[in-house]
Structure 1
Amino acid sequence: MSLRPGSTIGIIGGGQLGRMMAMAAARIGYRCHIFDPHESPCAAEVSGAFTRAAFDDREALRRFGEQCDVVTYEFENVPVAPLDVLDGKIRPGTRSLEIAQDRAVEKHFIERTGANVAPWREVNEVGDVRTALEQLGSPILLKTRRLGYDGKGQAWVHRAEEAEAAWETINSQPAVAEARMTFEAEFSVVLARTADGETCAFPLTRNEHHGGILRESIVPAGAPVSDLEPDAIEMARAIADALDHVGVLTVEFFACSGRAVVNEIAPRVHNSGHWTIEGARTSQFEQHLRAILGLPLGDPGLVASGATMENLIGRDVDGWAELVAEPGAALHLYNKGEARPGRKMGHVTRLR
């Protein structure tokens, strides 16, 4: 059943993804209600309502849910158990959250769908770091099982003597150890899935990271990524189907010697899909809304020959005046306050 314009969409999380989702919702006639523990989340200023409460506040979540016709989320690191008070209104479902919140669980799950993943091991103590180094070869990348993102909660290990320091770097948290992949490119599949199982993928996006943070996304992705498109989309579709996911799902890949290898998944709209706002006939944000509202999926095709999205990180945002004056540059500022190092403050998209 489709929800009519005028319905209220609840968004758990008030960051820039929620902000852009709320802006897309307003354009097609829907109202958004933000749920976030911060005093002034940037998504709240473009939404019709805002509830300030902790993500694990069941009573606040219950009242929030009563005011919404459907509920979604803009990031995956929210407690799952309290969401049961939302009375089945949440899309994507909590299974997508549970899988994506734990890297070891996620990797086991992806392997069961038949998709390729990099060689890896579970790490629960410092001795496991040394064992993983022996089994996977040098170097290995430690990643905390939970909460790490944009390069946080990670440490490289090249020799057994570094195990202790690396373990301390990730605060002795349960982790996964991944073999270093030799790859020609990093890319992502941003795919939408409806409750009926219909799927629709955007053109593959090539991604450039610096310091573990996405710096630039480019479409079309070009070789060698373009050669991997059928396999990558099929893997992303298999993952979405296995999750019974409703909404946008992002799967990040390595292009490795003619193979698409899954790096990780995000059960939501994604930074690498921001180019779609100007560069696609339907943005990733509207596509996500269409899926969770029961509307037909939109056309994901390019409106030009290509697009490049550049993140504005930290003090990059100080160049806003030049960017807003640049012909053909579509500037997005998130109004997040302090421009701390590594903080995503906005982005700019250029069509070509």
Structure 2
Amino acid sequence: MSGAGLERLDRFMGRANAAYYAGHDPFADFTTAPEISQAFGEILGAWAVVVWQSMGRPQPFILAEAGPGRGTLMADALRLATRLAPDFAAALTLHLVETSPRLRALQAAAIGPHLRSAAPRWHDSVEALPDGPLILLANEFLDALPIRQFVRGGTGWSERHVGPGGFELLACDAPLLPADRLDPVPEGGVIELCEPALALVGGLCRRLSRQGGAALLLDYGPGVAGHGDTLQALRGGAPADPLQAPGEADLTAHVDFPALRTVAGDAKAHGPVPQGRFLTALGLFARIERLVRAQPPGQGGALVEAAHRLVDPSRMGSLFKAIAFCHPALPVPPGFEEVSS
């Protein structure tokens, strides 16, 4: 079939998500970990403090978040980090990667009361962050980046495009993935490629290798190399057809963590590890116990339930993963000690 009237899937997904985030409140359709429990952001703040100390306590340094949402994660992280390490709070300059003016306003309101340094600076991309030692946090950021999908046929490969009637296939060369990723794909099977995620992580790792620092990314995906169609959509809090009403639903796909490790270059890659194991190793339940003790009698159950939602394998604890990329001279960061690089 010719390509007339067809749009490559990644271009369709990028256009649809840009319209969705510009005109919708995404938190009406899904709830992220920082919104589930304040302890999530707090222990990531403690993680950042330990990493900063292992970097030799640079002053100043850049603390950044990609996709800060309502600012909840960073507000919680700063609140705890300021109390744990005032010198950390005084040394940081805060930078947020966010394109939505509406979300930038929410972030400013949430984060401002917890900042010891100058007001945040916003950027449209990770690549726009200024030079300097960096600690970057990103939760559910990569899953919304556009993917390409390739289908193996009997005689070759085709790529999925979007047309008026749904998916259409156009013949193409094999996707640019290692042979050991392509060989297991059966006839009729789908393999996905997220070029923006690979470019972002590759550039970030080159920066970390040159200028120092670490990046912690939490997202969902299998954690092992595989194949299959993972494109999904949420509209009104319920699953929806990804191709219907573009711009009215949040489109996401599983993160290919093994592929991210291949672009680390000289930076050290740690993980991925299941989110439940990672958060437990960082002391999530010890933090929850302290929060429960501060509640009136009988009112701490919701805090415990929220923590279990984050870590239980049957809920978010297994599908969600944590992966870190660090300057090669840095030690293994907290939460990854039992995982080889």
* TM-score, length basis structure 1: 0.28
Taking CA–CA contacts closer than 8 Å with sequence separation of 6 or more, which of the two structures ends up with the larger relative contact order?
A: 2
Kindly indicate which of the two structures has a greater share of residues assigned to helix: 2
* TM-score, length basis structure 2: 0.29
